[in-house]
Structure 1
Amino acid sequence: MVEREDVVLTRDVNVVTVPDGNASTLSKGQIVTIHQSLGNNYTVVTGHGHMVRIASIDADALDKEHHQLHTLVSETSAEAVEKNCWEVMKTVYDPEIPVNIVDLGLVYYCNVRPSTTRANLNDVHVIMTLTAPGCGMGPVIQGDVEKCIRALPGVAGVNVEVALEPPWSREMMSEVAQLQLGLY
C-alpha cells in the first residue's frame, strides 16, 4: 500500500465507480489521489471526492507500472493449482478495505478437479461471499477472482459463485486482517 499520492492522469482511463460498480471514464489531465494500491488495482479519489478503481492494466494512466501476477508453483497438478488459486486470490482486494479477500474471510471454498474436457488441465470452482449482500462491487470482485485464476497454468475452466449464505461477518476475518483493521 502506498501513502496517499496526488497524480495527474496521463491519458483518458476507464474506471469502475466505488461502491456501486458502474463503469465510467476519467479524462487526461485530471488530478486524482491514490487511496490504495494493493493487489492488482488502484483505488483513487477524484477531485470531486468520488472513489473509483483503476485496473492494473491501465496503471500507465497513473504513470505507474502494470502489476504482473506471479505463480508460486509451476506444476499443473490439482494440488499445485489449488495452492496457486489461494495465493492469487490473496491479490484481490475490496477497493475500500486494505485487506485481501482471503484474509477478509470472503472465500468459502476452492475446489480443483481434473478437467473433463481438456487433458492435463483442471477446472476450478470457487464459492465466495461479499461483505454486504447489495455490494455494487461484488461482480467486479468476482470477475477479478475469475481473471486471476484463469491466468494460472494448468487451469481449463473457472466458476466463481457468489453465495450470500452464510452471511459474512467480522468473525470470519483472519487475526491478521483484524489486526490490520484495528479490530483485534
Structure 2
Amino acid sequence: MDVSKLNEKEKAVYDALAKVIDPELGVSLVDLGLIYEIDVDDQGVCKINWTLTTMGCPIIDVLTGSIYEAAMSIDGIKKCETKLVYYPQWTPDKMSREARMLLGIHL
C-alpha cells in the first residue's frame, strides 16, 4: 500500500491499524503487509481490504473485529466495512523490513 496516496482520514485509519497486533505472530497487521487498501469517503464510510498470511487462519474473527475497532476509533468514521481478500496473494515480501527481522525471515 502506498501510504503517500492516503488522505488525512485514511492515514489516521492506517496509523490506528499499525497498532493492531496479530496475536499469533506478535507483529502489527500493517508491518505484516496484510492491509491492502483503505478508502474513506466524504460520508465517513471506511472500507478496508485486507488479507491473511495463510488461508483458513483460525483467528479471522479476532482480526476482523480488531480492524473494525481500530477504524471506528478515528473521529469522523461513522461506518466501517472490512473485506477479506485473497488477491493479490500475500507473500513474506509484503512485510516491512522490521517485521521480517523480528520474525527471522530473510529474503
Same structural fold, with TM-score higher than 0.5 when normalized by the shorter chain: yes
Alignment of 1:5-84 (within 5 A): 79-84=7-12
More helix by share: 2
Q: Report the TM-score, using the length of structure 1 for normalisation.
A: 0.52
Larger Rg: 1
Identity %: 29
What amino acid is the match of 2:37? Y
TM-aligned CA deviation for residue 165 of structure 1: 1.9
**CA displacement, residues 108-159 of structure 1 (integer Å, 9 cap, x when unaligned):** 00111111xxxxxx11110000111101101210111011111210111111
State the partner residue of 1:132: 54
State the partner residue of 1:178: 100
Are 2:28 and 1:100 equivalent residues in the alignment? Answer: yes
TM-aligned CA deviation for residue 79 of structure 1: 2.6
Runs of 4 or more off by more than 6 Å in structure 1? Answer: none
1:85 to 10, 13, 33: 13
Query: Using the alignment, how far apart are the partners of 2:13 and 2:39 within structure 1?
Result: 9
State the partner residue of 2:3: none
- Alignment RMSD: 1.4
Query: How many equivalent pairs are there?
Result: 101
State the partner residue of 1:166: 88
1:109 to 37, 55, 62: 37
**CA displacement, residues 49-95 of structure 1 (integer Å, 9 cap, x when unaligned):** xxxxxxxxxxxxxxxxxxxxxxxxxxxxx932111101110111111
More strand by share: 1
What amino acid is the match of 1:85? V
**CA displacement, residues 159-181 of structure 1 (integer Å, 9 cap, x when unaligned):** 11000122211111011111111
TM-aligned CA deviation for residue 97 of structure 1: 0.6
Query: Using the alignment, how far apart are the partners of 1:131 and 1:139 within structure 2?
Result: 14
Query: Using the alignment, how far apart are the partners of 1:114 and 1:169 within structure 2?
Result: 33
State the structure with bigger RCO (CA 8 A, min sep 6), 1 or 2: 2
